Amino acid sequence: MKILVIEDERVLAESIASHLSKEGFIVETVFSYDAAVEKVNLYAYDCVVVDINLPDGTGFDIVEILKKIKATSGIIIISARDALEDRIRSLEIGSDDYLTKPFHLSELNARVKAILRRRNFGGSNEISYQELRVNYNTRRVFVGENEISLSKKEYDLLLYFMSNVDIALTKASMAEHLWGDNIDSADSFDILYSQIKNLRKKLTDGGCSEYIHSIYGIGYKFGRN
């Protein structure tokens, strides 16, 4: 799962990124309005954490841009202001949550996870497809009653597939989801192919049917062929 943190206080931004990274998220940080606009127009994020007060713009404007481009990101506004009008405006323009500074990083983490559960799993801690079942909180994967051990990237890849059943996923979008914009510097998708190969083998060895299908010239699709 990919998170964008938009916060001009660098120490706070880096603390948020460090905490969420330890929870298994891919986290990118930007410190200005212009840099944030560039990011949200180029990349897709599962959740965006944005401060209202930026040196060259406002977080409210970022939210409106996300809505204009029809981004599916969850949105959490963070602010030093606890004004009722700011909370109301944040909800009216389409944010999912509002958190007042100072806050505990564990609370922000809990709110991020709650948004992702609502958006991707209908509010449940589990997502399932046929004989496959994934517990989001414990990061455990089962084929029927058999538990399958996956690496972090294999788990992230499976969760991405299961959140996009019967959708054609490009190799570029999958690589970006797993590695963030760092994948831009990669020369090929060999690392992605390797992860998919390993995931397929572990699932089929565990008794799972083949749900990962190649789409020539595009990428992959998860579901019944």
Give the pLDDT score at 208.
Answer: 94
Whether the Cβ atoms of residue 212 and residue 200 lie closer than 8 Å to each other: yes
Give the pLDDT score at 180.
Answer: 76
Q: What are phi and psi of 32, to 5 degrees?
A: -145, 165
Compare 220 and 138 and report the one with higher pLDDT: 220
Give the pLDDT score at 182.
Answer: 62
Q: Report the chain's mean pLDDT, rounded to a whole number.
A: 89
Whether the Cβ atoms of residue 37 and residue 65 lie closer than 8 Å to each other: yes
Give the pLDDT score at 158.
Answer: 94
Question: How far, in Å, CA of 176 to CA of 46, rounded?
Answer: 12
Rg (CA), the chain: 18
Compare 55 and 213 and report the one with higher pLDDT: 213
Strands 74-79 and 97-100: parallel
- How would you list the strands of the sheet with 132-135, edge to edge? 126-129, 132-135, 140-143, 146-148
Whether the Cβ atoms of residue 207 and residue 159 lie closer than 8 Å to each other: no
Confidence grade of residue 124 (pLDDT, cut at 50, 70, 90): confident
Q: What are phi and psi of 110, to 5 degrees?
A: -65, -40
Strands 57-58 and 74-79: unpaired
Question: How far, in Å, CA of 122 to CA of 103, rounded?
Answer: 27
In the block, which residue shows the tokens 């788990």?
155
Give the pLDDT score at 127.
Answer: 87
Q: What is the mean pLDDT of residues 6-11?
A: 95
Q: Which domains does the chain have, with CATH numbers?
A: 2-121 (3.40.50.2300), 126-222 (1.10.10.10)
